[in-house]
Chains A and B, each alone.
Chain A
Amino acid sequence: MEINVAQLFATINVATIMPEIILSIMAMVLLLVNVFVPSKQKTYLVWLSLLGIIGAGFSAASGWGQNISSFSGSVVLDNFAIFFKLIFLVSAGLAVLISDQYMERENCNQGELYPLILFATTGMMLMASGTDLMTVFLGLELMSISLYVLAGFNRANLKSNEAGLKYFLLGAFSTGFLLYGMALIYGVTGTTRIAAIASSVAQMNSPLTNTMLGAGMLLIMTGFAFKIAAAPFHMWTPDVYEGAPTPMAAFMSAGPKAAGFAAFLRMFLVAFPMLITQWVDILWVIAVLTMTIGNLTALRQDNIKRMLAYSSIAHAGYALVGFVAANATGTTGILFYMLSYAFMNIGAFAIIVLVGKQGEPNGSVQDFAGLGTKRPVLAAVMSLFLFSLAGMPPTAGFIGKFYLFSGALEQGYVWLAIIGVLNSAASVYYYLRVMVFMYMKPSEEEFGWVTIGAPISLALVVAAAGSLIPGIIPSYILQLAQQAVKLI
C-alpha cells in the first residue's frame, strides 16, 4: 500500500493547481478574518480578496508555456487554461471591487460574500484546467453552488431570493443533463479522460451513427449551453440577473460564462473532433438562435439589468459563432472576446451599481436620465462600455467580434457572419438607448448620490482601460490567445 501511495504522490505536481490552492486558502483565511472584522469595515476583505486574486493570477501566469499536467492527467495547466484563469480572475477581481459599496447600500454586506466569490472562481479555474470529465464536473459544481448562494445573497430582498432559487433549480436540472451525458460517454468509451475519449472515438467503426455517443454528446452540449446561457436554454438568465445583487449579476455574466466556454471548447474540440460534422450544425442553429433571441428581446427591455441579461445572451451567441468556426481564428476570438467582455460588461454593471438606489425600486433605463450632465465622467465611461458592447471601433469589443466573425468567414460560414453583424447592428439600438437617456433626456428627479468609493473607482479605471486599450493595440493579447488555443 505504501508503495502505491508513493506512486500516487509521485504523479502529483502541486504547481498544476497552485492558483486554485492560493485562492482556496485565501477564501478560508477570509472566512476566519471575517469573524474579527467589525461589520462596518468590510472593505478590508475587499483588499484581502484582491490580494488572493492577484496572487493566483501571478501563479497562473508564471506557468505560461509550460503545459504541465498532473493527477494522472486529470488536471492540466496549459496556456488555454491559464488564459481562461486570467479571465476568471479579472472578473472576480472586478466583482469584488464593485461589491463593497453595493452591499453596504443594500445592508447585506456579510463577509461571506468574498470567500464565496473566491470559491466560485476556484471552481471555474478547475473547469478550465480539467482534462477529465470528473474534474470538469467537480469544478462546475464548486462554481455553481457558490453562485446559487451569491445570486440569493440579498436575503431581505424577495427578488434576490427568487433569483437564487430559480438559478438553483434550473442549474441543478441542467447539471443532471450534463452528468447523464458524461455517464453515457463513459459507457461508450470506457474512460473519463477527455483525450482518451477522443482516441476511443477515433477507433470506433462508425462513431457518427452510434446513438449512445451522439446522445451523450447532445446532453453534454445541453448542460454547457445552459451554463453559457445559450438559446433555447437561456430562460433563467434575465430573472436571475435582475434579482441577483448587481455585482453578482456582473460576475455571473462574465466569469461563469467564460468558464462554460472553457470547458465546452476543450471538451468538444479535444474529445469530439471526429464528430464535428454532427455538432457543428447544431451549434450553428444555437448560435443564430442565441444571437437573435438575445438581441430582439433586449430591444424591448426597460429594466437595465434585464437588458444587459439579454445582451449577455446575445454575446454568448457571438462567441458561439467563433465556436462554430472551430478554427484558430474563431477560438482566438472567443478567448479575446471573453476577456474583453469581462471588462466591458462588469464595467457597465459597476455604473449600474452607482446609479441604482437602495432596494433598486425600478432599476429602469430612465434612471440614467441626466447622467451626462450630473456626472459627465461616469457617463463617458459608461458610453465607452456600451460602445464596446456594441462592437464599435476602437474598442476591445470590436476586435473581439472581428476575430469571431473572421473565423466564421474563414471556414465559409458567410451567412452566419452576416446574421452576426446584422444582430450587432440591432444591438446598437438598445445600447444607444441608454446613452439617449444619459445625454439627451433631462433628469426627472434628483440623484441620491453616494460618493464613489476607492474600490469601485479602481474597478472602473481597470474596466475602462481593459475595454479601450486592447481595441487600439490588441496584438499582444491576441497573440497570447493564439498561443493558448494552439494546444487544443
Chain B
Amino acid sequence: MSNILSLMTFLPIAGVLLLLFIPKDSKGVLRTVAFLTTVATFVVSIPVLTGFQTIADFQFVENVPWIAAGPFAMRYNIGIDGITIWLVILTTFIMPIAVLSTWTAVEDKVKEYMICLLLLETGMLGAFLALDLFLFYIFWEVMLIPMYFIIGIWGGKNRVYAAVKFFIYTMVGSLLMLVALIYLYLLGTKAGITDFSLVHFFSLNVDPATQTWLFLAFALAFAIKVPMFPLHTWLPDAHTEAPTAGSVILAAILLKMGTYGYVRFAMPLFPEATAQFTPLIAVLSVIGVIYAAFVAMVQEDVKKLVAYSSVAHLGYVMLGLFSLNEQGVTGGMLQMINHGISTGALFLIVGFIYERRHTRLISDFGGLAKQMPIFTVIFMIVTLSSIAVPGTNGFVGEFLILIGAYESSLRWYTIIAASGVILAAVYMLWMFQRVMFGELENPKNQKLEDLNAREIAIMVPLIVLIFVIGVYPNPFIEKMTPSIKKVIAQAKVQQTTAQAVSEAQPVAAPAEAPQAATQPAAH
C-alpha cells in the first residue's frame, strides 16, 4: 500500500461523488453514506498508525511531479512524520464523531452539508500531509470554502457575519503568506532549488533581515488561524454561529492548522527570525491565556465561553512550541491533540443541550444534574480534562508546556501563564456549577431527556482518550519525539547567534535546553 496517504486523503472525495447521486430527500441514506465514508477514512488511517516507525523521517512518502512551468515546479509530495501522525489520526477520528453529532441537528440541505464536511476532511488531511509548500497552500485554502458554507448556511442567527469574517480574516493572512512563499521560492532558485519541496528550504540560509519579513508573513497567517491575541476576534463569532459539527471541527482540527504551521513551517524555515520574535509571541500568548480566561468568565453563552477557552488553550500551545525545548514542544504538540479531544467534546456537549433546549444561555439552565445523570458525568469528565486536572489528558500537556517554558528563555512568561490554569478552573467550574447544580427551577428543563445511545456512543471514545492520554501518555509522546527533536534542531539558531540573542535577554538560557531535554516525560 504505497498510496495509502492519498487513499486516505481522497477517500472523502469519493464519498462526495457518491453523495451526488443520492436524491436529496433520502436524508438517512445521505447521513449513512457520509458516516461510512468518514469511518472508512479512519479505518484506512489505522495502518498508517500501526506501520508508522518511530523515526524522524517522513514516511509513506508519495512524490510525483505535478506542475512545471516557468521558474516553478510543484510536486504532489505528501508524507507523514511524528509531528503530523497524531494530527492526522485526530482528524480521521473526529470526523465520524462530527458527522454523527449532526444526525438530528441538521435537517435542511443534508446533502450539501455532508458534502461540505467531506470536502473539509480532504482539505484538512491534505494540509497536514503536504510536504510541498505550494500543495500545502492549496489545501490550506481549500479548507476555507467548505467551512465558510458550514458556518454560513447551517449556522445560527448571525451566521453570515461570522462566516464572512472567518473567510476574510483567514484569506488576508494566507495571501500574505503566499507572497512570502513565492519570495522564498525565488530566493531558493538562486541557491539551486528546483521545486517547492519543503525539505529543500530547511537548508536554505536566508539572511536574517529577509527572514524577519518572511517569518512575519507566515506567522501572521498562522496567528490568525491559531488564533492568537489580538487576531482572535473571528473565533468567538465563528464558533458561536457554527453548527455543532462545524464548531467541533473548527476547534479540534482547524485551529491546529495554525500551530502546526508554526512547527512545520515558520519556525524551522526561519530560525533567526523565530529567535527574534519569540519574546513577542510569548507576550501575545500569555496575554491570550489571561485575557481569554477573563473574557470567558463573563460569558453568558456556554458556547462562547468554550470558544474563549480555546483561545486560552491555544495560548499555552504557542508558549510550549516557542520554548523550543523538548518538553515544551512535546507539550505543545500533545496539548494540540488534547485540546482537539476535550474542546471538541465540550462543543458536542453544548450541542446536546442546545438541541434539546434551543438556547445556550447559562441563565436558562441550572440543576440539570438531577435530570440528566449520564450527561452530568460526561460533562464533568470533559470539564476536568479541559482545566487540566491530573489524571486527564489536559494535565499532561499543560504540565509539559509549563516545564518546558520554565526551562527556556520564557521563564517569566510561564509564571504568569500558570495563573491561567487557575483562571481556567474558575470559569469552567463556575459555568459547570451554574448549569448543572442548584435547583431545577426552569420548567422547560424538567422534561429534559438524558443522552441517547447515539450521543453516548459519540462521547465514549473521547472520554476513553481523555483518560488514556492522561494516565499513560508515553505511546503518544514516543511517536512524536524523534520528529520533535529534529524540528527543534532545525528551529534553534546556530550557537553563535543564540548567544547574541541570550545577551539581549538575560533570562534566556539556551544552554539549559539540552539538559532539560534529557528528562523523560514521566507521569
Please name all residues of chain B whose beta carbon is closer than 8 Å to the beta carbon of A392 when the two chains form the complex: 141-142, 144-145
Closest Cβ of chain A to B182, distance in Å, is 5
Please name all residues of chain B whose beta carbon is closer than 8 Å to the beta carbon of A424 when the two chains form the complex: 171, 175
Contact between A405 and B138, CB atoms less than 8 A apart: no
* A154 CB within 8 Å of chain B: no
From A410, A418, A432, give the contact of B179 (CB < 8 A): A418
Please name all residues of chain B whose beta carbon is closer than 8 Å to the beta carbon of A433 when the two chains form the complex: 164
Closest Cβ of chain A to B163, distance in Å, is 8
Contact between B168 and A421, CB atoms less than 8 A apart: no
From B67, B167, B172, B186, give the contact of A406 (CB < 8 A): B186
Which residue of B has the minimal Cβ distance to A477? B69
From B149, B182, B186, give the contact of A402 (CB < 8 A): B182
Please name all residues of chain B whose beta carbon is closer than 8 Å to the beta carbon of A439 when the two chains form the complex: 149, 152-153
Contact between A409 and B182, CB atoms less than 8 A apart: yes
Closest Cβ of chain B to A90, distance in Å, is 20
Please name all residues of chain A whose beta carbon is closer than 8 Å to the beta carbon of B145 when the two chains form the complex: 387, 392
Q: Give complex CA distance A394, B167 in Å.
A: 16
Please name all residues of chain A whose beta carbon is closer than 8 Å to the beta carbon of B141 when the two chains form the complex: 392-393, 398
* A429 CB within 8 Å of chain B: yes
Contact between A332 and B171, CB atoms less than 8 A apart: no
From B24, B69, B164, give the contact of A479 (CB < 8 A): B69
Please name all residues of chain A whose beta carbon is closer than 8 Å to the beta carbon of B163 when the two chains form the complex: 436, 440
* B426 CB within 8 Å of chain A: no
Contact between A405 and B171, CB atoms less than 8 A apart: no
Contact between B70 and A405, CB atoms less than 8 A apart: no
Closest Cβ of chain A to B396, distance in Å, is 37
* A297 CB within 8 Å of chain B: no
Q: Give complex CA distance A436, B149 in Å.
A: 9
**B contact face: mostly helix, strand, loop, or mixed:** helix
Give the contacts of A42-78 with B (CB-CB under 8 A): none
From A410, A418, A428, give the contact of B71 (CB < 8 A): A410
Contact between A440 and B179, CB atoms less than 8 A apart: no
From B67, B172, B176, B183, give the contact of A475 (CB < 8 A): B67
Q: A414-B183, A421-B175 are in contact. Are A474 and B144 (CB under 8 A)?
A: no
Which residue of A has the minimal Cβ distance to B67? A475
* A417 CB within 8 Å of chain B: yes
Q: Give complex CA distance A479, B175 in Å.
A: 25
Please name all residues of chain B whose beta carbon is closer than 8 Å to the beta carbon of A432 when the two chains form the complex: 148, 164, 167-168
Q: Give complex CA distance A329, B112 in Å.
A: 38
Contact between B176 and A421, CB atoms less than 8 A apart: yes
Please name all residues of chain B whose beta carbon is closer than 8 Å to the beta carbon of A482 when the two chains form the complex: 69-70
Q: Give complex CA distance A432, B144 in Å.
A: 12
Q: A405-B182, A418-B179 are in contact. Are A376 and B112 (CB under 8 A)?
A: yes
Q: Give complex CA distance A410, B187 in Å.
A: 9
Closest Cβ of chain A to B183, distance in Å, is 5
Contact between B171 and A425, CB atoms less than 8 A apart: yes
Contact between A409 and B183, CB atoms less than 8 A apart: yes
Contact with A along B154-192 (1 / 0, CB 8 A): 000001100110011001100110110011001000000
Q: Give complex CA distance A439, B113 in Å.
A: 12
* A422 CB within 8 Å of chain B: yes
Give the contacts of A345-379 with B (CB-CB under 8 A): 372-373, 376
Please name all residues of chain A whose beta carbon is closer than 8 Å to the beta carbon of B109 when the two chains form the complex: 372-373
Please name all residues of chain B whose beta carbon is closer than 8 Å to the beta carbon of A387 when the two chains form the complex: 145
Give the contacts of A399-433 with B (CB-CB under 8 A): 399, 402-403, 405-406, 409-410, 414, 417-418, 421-422, 424-425, 428-429, 432-433
Contact between A422 and B168, CB atoms less than 8 A apart: no
From B69, B137, B159, B175, give the contact of A332 (CB < 8 A): B69
Q: Tally A residues with Cβ within 8 Å of B.
A: 41
* A136 CB within 8 Å of chain B: no
Please name all residues of chain A whose beta carbon is closer than 8 Å to the beta carbon of B24 when the two chains form the complex: 376
Please name all residues of chain A whose beta carbon is closer than 8 Å to the beta carbon of B64 when the two chains form the complex: none
Closest Cβ of chain A to B294, distance in Å, is 31
Q: Give complex CA distance A169, B29 in Å.
A: 61
Please name all residues of chain B whose beta carbon is closer than 8 Å to the beta carbon of A422 when the two chains form the complex: 172, 175-176
Q: A393-B142, A409-B182 are in contact. Are A329 and B167 (CB under 8 A)?
A: no
* B68 CB within 8 Å of chain A: yes
Contact between B138 and A394, CB atoms less than 8 A apart: yes
Closest Cβ of chain A to B76, distance in Å, is 11
Contact between B149 and A475, CB atoms less than 8 A apart: no
Q: Give complex CA distance A372, B112 in Å.
A: 10
Q: Give complex CA distance A86, B179 in Å.
A: 30
Contact with A along B393-421 (1 / 0, CB 8 A): 00000000000000000000000000000
Closest Cβ of chain B to A473, distance in Å, is 8
Please name all residues of chain A whose beta carbon is closer than 8 Å to the beta carbon of B68 when the two chains form the complex: 475, 479
Contact between A394 and B142, CB atoms less than 8 A apart: yes
Please name all residues of chain B whose beta carbon is closer than 8 Å to the beta carbon of A481 when the two chains form the complex: 69
Contact between A402 and B178, CB atoms less than 8 A apart: yes
Which residue of A has the minimal Cβ distance to B72? A406
Q: Give complex CA distance A394, B138 in Å.
A: 6
* A478 CB within 8 Å of chain B: yes
Closest Cβ of chain B to A441, distance in Å, is 8
Contact between B69 and A475, CB atoms less than 8 A apart: yes
Closest Cβ of chain B to A248, distance in Å, is 31
Contact between B179 and A417, CB atoms less than 8 A apart: yes
Q: A393-B141, A428-B168 are in contact. Are A436 and B160 (CB under 8 A)?
A: yes
Which residue of B has the minimal Cβ distance to A479? B69
Which residue of A has the minimal Cβ distance to B152? A440
Contact between A409 and B186, CB atoms less than 8 A apart: yes
Contact between A478 and B70, CB atoms less than 8 A apart: yes
Q: A402-B182, A410-B71, A479-B69 are in contact. Are A436 and B152 (CB under 8 A)?
A: yes
Q: Give complex CA distance A479, B67 in Å.
A: 10
Which residue of A has the minimal Cβ distance to B139? A393
Q: A393-B141, A440-B152 are in contact. Are A329 and B71 (CB under 8 A)?
A: yes
Q: Give complex CA distance A429, B161 in Å.
A: 11
Q: Give complex CA distance A439, B150 in Å.
A: 11
Contact between B183 and A421, CB atoms less than 8 A apart: no
Please name all residues of chain B whose beta carbon is closer than 8 Å to the beta carbon of A376 when the two chains form the complex: 24, 112
From B149, B159, B186, give the contact of A410 (CB < 8 A): B186
* A328 CB within 8 Å of chain B: yes
Q: A414-B179, A425-B175 are in contact. Are A474 and B149 (CB under 8 A)?
A: no
Jot down 17 A-B pairs with beta carbons below 8 A, ordered by A: A406-B70, A406-B72, A410-B186, A414-B179, A414-B183, A417-B182, A421-B179, A424-B175, A425-B171, A428-B168, A428-B171, A436-B160, A440-B163, A473-B67, A475-B66, A475-B68, A482-B69
Chain A positions within 8 Å of B, measured between CB atoms, are 328-329, 332, 372-373, 376, 387, 392-394, 398-399, 402-403, 405-406, 409-410, 414, 417-418, 421-422, 424-425, 428-429, 432-433, 435-436, 439-441, 473-475, 478-479, 481-482
**New contact pairs (17) apart from A405-B178, A436-B152, CB-CB < 8 Å:** A329-B71, A329-B72, A332-B69, A372-B153, A376-B112, A392-B141, A393-B141, A403-B70, A405-B182, A425-B172, A428-B167, A428-B171, A432-B167, A475-B67, A478-B67, A478-B69, A479-B69
The 6 closest A-B pairs by CB, nearest first: A478-B69, A421-B175, A393-B138, A425-B172, A329-B70, A393-B141
Chain B positions within 8 Å of A, measured between CB atoms, are 24, 66-72, 109, 112, 137-138, 141-142, 144-145, 148-149, 152-153, 159-160, 163-164, 167-168, 171-172, 175-176, 178-179, 182-183, 186
